[in-house]
């Protein structure tokens, strides 16, 4: 069982034709896009999304991505993508779960790790910037 986060966001999507292969199964690379959409919803809940990250002087590149495919999503299927914030003080780690919207069946899980990089110097930070930690603390308070 994956670690639950201190803050979650869920989005619901319907699998579109342009995301599937000739077997009408979602091509594996599109799950990363679904993770990104849920991650953006989570960052919006923090009121510290990518624009605010940039404006505070930091970029947050993904340095690690893990995906475990259990069952492929199909054309027209409604799915729930959940993002859980699990680490934020020295890096940003988010766990993901994709499930069938109708049955709740788990389909895919994964995680991403991002680190802060000061835009001006391009130097990786070994601790998350205080502006980001403060945003998390406000959101979970």
In a domain, residue 2? The reply is no
* CA neighbor of 113 nearest in space, from 67, 66, 68, 62: 62
CA triple 50-52-57, angle to 5 deg: 95
Predicted pLDDT of residue 133:
97
Query: SS in 3 state form for 14-31?
Result: ECCHHHECCCCEECCCHH
In a domain, residue 70? The reply is yes
In a domain, residue 103? The reply is yes
In a domain, residue 18? The reply is yes
**Phi, psi torsion values for 38, nearest 5 degrees:** -70, -40
User: Which region, left, alpha or beta, applies to residue 139 given φ > 0 means left and ψ of -120 to 50 means alpha?
Assistant: alpha
In a domain, residue 87? The reply is yes
Q: Note down the domain range covering 49.
A: 7-140
* pLDDT (tens digit per residue) in 46-76: 999 999 999 999 999 999 999 999 999 999 9
Number of domains present in the structure of the chain: 1
Question: Does residue 1 have a pLDDT over 60?
Answer: no
In a domain, residue 113? The reply is yes
Q: What's 84's domain CATH number?
A: 3.10.129.10
């Amino acid at each position: 069982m994956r670690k639950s986060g201190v803050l979650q966001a869920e989005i619901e999507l319907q699998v579109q034709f342009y995301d599937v292969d000739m077997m009408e199964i979602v091509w594996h690379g599109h799950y990363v896009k679904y993770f990104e959409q849920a991650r953006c919803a989570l960052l919006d809940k923090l009121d510290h999304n990518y624009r605010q990250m940039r404006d505070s002087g930091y970029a947050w590149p993904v340095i690690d991505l893990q995906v475990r495919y259990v069952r492929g999503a199909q054309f027209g299927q409604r799915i729930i993508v959940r993002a859980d914030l699990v680490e934020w003080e020295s890096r940003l780690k988010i766990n993901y779960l994709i499930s069938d919207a109708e049955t709740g069946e788990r389909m895919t899980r994964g995680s991403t790790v991002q680190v802060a990089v000061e835009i001006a110097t391009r130097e990786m930070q070994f601790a998350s910037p205080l502006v980001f930690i403060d945003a998390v603390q406000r959101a979970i308070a």
